[in-house]
Amino acid sequence: MSTPPCSTIDPIAAHRWAERAPAATPWLHEEVARRMAERLAVIRLPVNRWAHWEPPRSGWQGHALVVERYPQAEALQVMRHPVPERDAAPARAGWWQRVGRKRAASAQVVSAPPDGTMQLVWANMLAHQGADPEQLLARWHRALAVDGFLMFSCLGPDTLQELRALYARLGWPPPAQEFTDMHDWGDQLLEAGFADPVMDMEHITLSFETPARLLAELRELGRNQHVARFGALRTPAWRRQLERALDEHLRPASNEPLSLSFEIVYGHAVKPEPRHTVAARTEISLEHMKASLRQRNRNLPAL
């Protein structure tokens, strides 16, 4: 059996990054949220209540797009450290973010939604950042009502392949933790109790004029959480060596910008009716049986 990518994540580094409040949502996160929101058009399940997981990291523009899709639905903002609603959206915001903040003003800010109450859990660009994906999937599953659905995105294994090759060539530890393949995410969704997982992926290439801008973008996206990362502070001389290496190896041609690849994994899955376990003696209450029959009848096609 192969080692799961999450085992390359240092739990302490992951915790520290999760505790760090971002000054602004990275551009890539907002762009992925926009593409993920387009996928909502093919889902016909009703949404009366939905939970947005960590909106400061996930993206306020994405929040506004989901509000636009479900304008009558109640929205919950799930944050590691809930803040007052007036402070939930970033102070410096573009017009699209101000629209999202106005529409989200009535949203409840919580550390966890009530169990079994959400028709949608929206989690953009979060799943690759934690050392315990099973626990995260379990939280999402617990929040959803039966027939509710999860929409999530994260980085895939081809992310930063140019930078990984460069670090290996220089004999340095990896520049980032390993990222989980979309097929493995599908398997983990099933193991967590979800049904009908649908996985998709695409590659996005970002271009940068200078190595300094590339490194600044990477710092906005996250930190190197790999357990084998260099364990001490780097020197200015090392930084200059890195920038020279980026300039030399990441430019397709001398007059072109530096290029860096990101694999984006998208997934959605449904929380099904719980199955009754079968034992030598199984007892099911009358009320539970009635509820199961009502749910089954709702799922039957109309004649």
Does the structure show a pLDDT above 70 at 118? yes
Tell whether 234 is covered by a domain.
Answer: no
When pLDDT is averaged across residues 291-295 and rounded to a whole number, the result is 56
Report yes or no on whether pTM surpasses 0.85: no
Tell which wins on pLDDT, 243 or 4.
243
User: 63 with 55: CB under 8 angstroms?
Assistant: yes
pLDDT in tens, 54-93: 999 999 999 999 999 999 999 999 998 765 444 444 434 4
- Higher confidence at residue 263 or residue 288? 263
pLDDT for residue 281 is more than 90: no
- Looking at the domain assignment, is residue 122 inside a domain? yes
Residue 133 domain-assigned? yes
Predicted pLDDT at 87: 46
- Mention every residue, 6+ apart, whose C-beta is less than 8 A from residue 230: 172, 173
- In whole angstroms, give the CA distance from residue 231 to residue 241: 18
| Count of domains observed in the chain | 1
Q: Is 236 part of a structural domain of the chain?
A: no
Domain that residue 287 falls in: 5-160+174-205+260-298
Q: Does residue 162 register a pLDDT over 50?
A: yes
pLDDT for the residue 272: 96
User: Can you give the pLDDT at residue 4?
Assistant: 74
Please report, for the domain that includes residue 285, its CATH number: 3.40.50.150
Rounded to the nearest integer, the mean pLDDT of the chain is 86
Measured in whole angstroms, how far is the alpha carbon of residue 243 from the centre of its chain?
A: 29
| pLDDT cut 90: percent of the chain above it | 72
Give the model's confidence band at 96: pLDDT under 50 very low, under 70 low, under 90 confident, else very high: very low
**What pLDDT, on a 0 to 100 scale, did the predictor assign at position 301?**
44
Q: Is the alpha carbon torsion for 200, 152, 130, 25 positive or negative?
A: positive
Which is higher by pLDDT, 281 or 246? 246
Q: Find tokens 């971002």 and name the residue.
A: 22
In the predicted structure, residue 1 carries a pLDDT above the cut 50: no
Confidence at residue 278, expressed as pLDDT on a 0 to 100 scale: 52
Overall size of the chain counted in residues? 303
Give me the pLDDT at residue 276, please: 57
List the 108-110 sheet strands across, edge first.
Answer: 108-110, 74-78, 49-53, 118-123, 144-155, 258-270, 195-208
Confidence at residue 231, expressed as pLDDT on a 0 to 100 scale: 84
**Helices 211-221 and 27-38, axial angle in degrees (round to 10):** 60
How far is Cα 259 from Cα 208, in angstroms, rounded to an integer? 7
Identify the pLDDT of residue 286: 64
- As a whole-number percent, the residues of the chain with pLDDT over 70 amount to 81
Is the pLDDT score of 156 beyond 70?
yes
Which has the higher per-residue pLDDT, 291 or 252?
Answer: 252
Instruction: Report how far residue 196's alpha carbon sits from residue 94's, in angstroms, rounded to the nearest whole number.
Output: 37
- Does the residue 252 lie in any domain? no
Looking at the domain assignment, is residue 303 inside a domain? Answer: no
pLDDT tens digits, 18-37: 888 788 899 999 999 999 99
As a whole number, mean pLDDT of residues 115-141 equals 96
How many other β-carbons are positioned within 10 Å of the β-carbon of residue 100? 25
Residue 290 predicted with pLDDT over 90: no
**Count of C-beta atoms within a 10 Å radius of residue 295:** 13
77 found inside a domain: yes
Is there a domain that residue 26 lies in? yes
State the pLDDT at residue 292. Answer: 57
233-277 pLDDT tens trace = 889 999 999 999 999 999 877 789 999 999 999 999 999 998 755
Residue 173 near residue 226 (C-beta atoms within 8 A): yes
